[in-house]
Amino acid sequence: MGRKLLLDKAHVENIRLYDVYRREGGYRSVEKALKKSPGEIVEEVKKSGLRGRGGAGFPTGLKWSFLAKPEGVARYLVVNADESEPGTFKDRYLMEFIPHLLIEGMIVSSFALGSNSSYIYIRGEYAWIVDILEQAITEAKNNGWLGKNILGSGFDCEIYVQRGAGAYICGEETALLESLEGKRGNPRIKPPFPAVKGLWDSPTVVNNVETIAAIVPIINEGGDEYAKIGVGKSTGTKLISACGNLNKPGIFEIDMTISVEEFIYSDEYCGGITKGKRLKACIPGGSSVPILPANLLLKTAKGDTRMMNYESLSDGGFATGSMMGSGGFIVLDEDQCVVKHTYTLARFYRHESCGQCSPCREGTGWMEKILLNIDKGKGKMSDIDLLWDIQRKIEGNTICPLGDAAAWPVAAAIRHFRDEFEWHVLNPDECTKRNYGLAHYAEPLKMAVPA
């Protein structure tokens, strides 16, 4: 059983309320942090090796140290709670059950960054969580953790919650800032980066909910202690939201030392595939990361066991690996159809493309239509190559990563499941009645024998 840092108190009754949270040792980190200097906290976070939990995995301490600090200009901390990636729902759990953990982390982070007004930009569909957060903020304020001169340190901080209007694109940090400013949520062209010119042209740090929550144990335990958990550059614990054909889907906190196989099959975590079926494929980090067939998921191309951490999941690059992403673990059993699944994702990205740059605006719609044709058995063999060509022309040529996110699932599906696409083309009648099945996707990998 791995250590739990974020969710160890999540099942205490009424932990949502301030009194219980405080009794369980909450807000200790604020007391500790306000005695230090902001620079020391940033150092502590750097030492912890914490990586951004939103998807890209950028080291948080490094991000914080990039923040420009011109005299007389306000700085802002914005928490990205616009969790809209299909398959990812970890932030929702955190905010819904232990909202004070986020508030506590925000106070410490705001102090470290010098932000006097910090924002939570929350996904519009999480309507009820807004109330939970606002109640937590009021409680914290009534108890002197927010407002003017917190704990007599001379540091002022206010936290505001802003609801989005239901656009996936507003989870991209610059689009989020545009939306927060009250404009159309279109991503900005970088540079300038938010660390220099962010919210209202002021230096801004945008962090994921889980990242900010992880600041609390880092301050409580110390950066060095935190860095001891996990392996290599994957330090600390990570929340994984597992869904799909699993016996026990849900949120799990892992310390990144377990293997993917253990995560799926052990009773402590997902408890295996439903009805004893076999594993066909899995998307390990939210819908936009490449899908992997079972054989590549459990073992890397080199034959090592694949672990649940940043390095191991991305081992082999996109050719034979995937990404940790935001931790949205989606499992497909042998009865699932990869073509239909890819079509569903393409439809999502088409719907959520902001329409700013042409490759993404036009390309996502095109891919969706071709995938629908193949799924319905109306596809042609040339469509598969066409899809490959379209995704290649979208990827890397857009302003924000949504273009990449739309291209990667299609690319990975064709890369690993091309025979299934071809089967759909060659068997137009059959493919509407039954699925391709497991085929060879779970067979052991052919290992290259060293000469």
**Residues touching another protein, count (CB under 8 A):** 27
Contact between 405 and another protein by CB under 8 A: the answer reads no
Contact between 341 and another protein by CB under 8 A: the answer reads no
Q: Quote the least distance from Cβ 398 to another protein, whole Å.
A: 7
Contact between 393 and another protein by CB under 8 A: the answer reads yes
Contact between 319 and another protein by CB under 8 A: the answer reads no
Instruction: State which of residues 350, 409, 431, 436 lies at the interface with another protein (CB under 8 A).
Output: 350
Contact between 184 and another protein by CB under 8 A: the answer reads yes
Contact between 183 and another protein by CB under 8 A: the answer reads no
Q: Quote the least distance from Cβ 189 to another protein, whole Å.
A: 4
Stretch that binds another protein, among 143-151, 248-256, 292-300, 363-371 (CB under 8 A): 363-371
Measured from the CB atom, is 184 or 278 closer to another protein?
184
Instruction: State which of residues 5, 78, 169, 330 lies at the interface with another protein (CB under 8 A).
Output: 169
Contact between 386 and another protein by CB under 8 A: the answer reads yes
Stretch that binds another protein, among 43-51, 302-310, 327-335, 397-405 (CB under 8 A): 397-405
Contact between 364 and another protein by CB under 8 A: the answer reads yes
Instruction: State which of residues 300, 342, 353, 435 lies at the interface with another protein (CB under 8 A).
Output: 353
For the chain, give the secondary structure using H, E and C: CCCCCCCCCCCCCCCCCHHHHHHCCCCHHHHHHCCCCHHHHHHHHHHHCCECCCCCCCEHHHHHHCCCCCCCCCEEEEEEECCCCCCCCHHHHHHHHCHHHHHHHHHHHHHHHCEEEEEEEECCCCHHHHHHHHHHHHHHHHCCCCECCHHHCCCCEEEEEEECCCCHHHHCHHHHHHHHCCCCCCCCCCCCCCCCCCHHHCCEEEEEHHHHHHHHHHHHHCHHHHHHCEECCEECCEEEEEEECECCCEEEEECCCCEHHHHHHCCCCCCCEHHHCCEEEEECCCCCCCCEEHHHHHECCCCCECECCHHHHCCCHHHHCCCCCCCEEEEEECCCCHHHHHHHHHHHHHHHCCCCCHHHHHHHHHHHHHHHHHHCCCCCHHHHHHHHHHHHHHCCCCCCCHHHHHHHHHHHHHHHHHHHHHHHHHCCCHHHHCCCCCCCCCCCCCCCCCC
Measured from the CB atom, is 38 or 185 closer to another protein?
185
Contact between 317 and another protein by CB under 8 A: the answer reads no
Instruction: State which of residues 398, 413, 416, 441 lies at the interface with another protein (CB under 8 A).
Output: 398
Q: Quote the least distance from Cβ 399 to another protein, whole Å.
A: 6
Q: Quote the least distance from Cβ 62 to another protein, whole Å.
A: 18
Measured from the CB atom, is 190 or 228 closer to another protein?
190
- Contact positions vs another protein (CB under 8 A): 167, 169, 184, 189, 350-359, 361-366, 369, 386, 393, 396-399
